[in-house]
A and B are shown apart, each in its own frame.
Chain A
């Protein structure tokens, strides 16, 4: 399955069914990462209910230093 992650097209295993699976695959579970799925920012309680599909656009961000 091909998805776009931070504007880069990546091939991921087709058994990644939800955003929660995506987080596990990319070792994001322990990190304070925020995720946007097809331009919609997801709350943590939405990770397990949001299905991942071919062509999805994912943005993964985190907090960094800033003024």
Chain B
């Protein structure tokens, strides 16, 4: 019995202590949008929640378009988009803030003699117009297209940048970056794509139009197979206290390490 009483006391004390903390800033931050940003925003949200116990963070993976609509209609605090806003969207009173950049490396086997391709050629390769490496300066091998599964953010990004949406003739659709790299490393005729941060020396990253994918070339925009991760907010409405705190945190340099470890290139210094 005595134990029980002690237990109750401890629990109630703990609860009081928790509410005490929450008084600083409490509330919730809701984000909605791009599925490609899941890893980045998830890692940031988790870290933010850990440091601000009174604030709950939610993320609704619906896609960039839905996220922009949601913030315009006031259904979430911050919209997430993995493309820049269109002019008509800005005209609706929306502001974009680039959170990070996502570089996608085009990878081939180490034995492949091709080192450089341009965006158009990559598009032709993936839609099946070019089917042999010898046509683009390589050896006489049928090109094997390795890609990601439908719904993957990397696939979505790659296809939208190369203009090959729903037209790619994949030979293999794998479910993780690691599998793509493994498959490309194991086949001299393979070509694949993977998030820049995860490319290892087991495969060769191609330069695009003469520019190698690195964090710097992604940042200065010269490497073209990249897209922005954008935070969308309403221009004339202030964010709630909790949402503002989250926004300030993720756009500060403090968040850079988390953004990098989630595979994207941070833009703030």
- Report whether chain A binds chain B: no
Hey, which bits of chain A sit against chain B, CB under 8 A? none
Footprint of A on B, CB under 8 Å? none
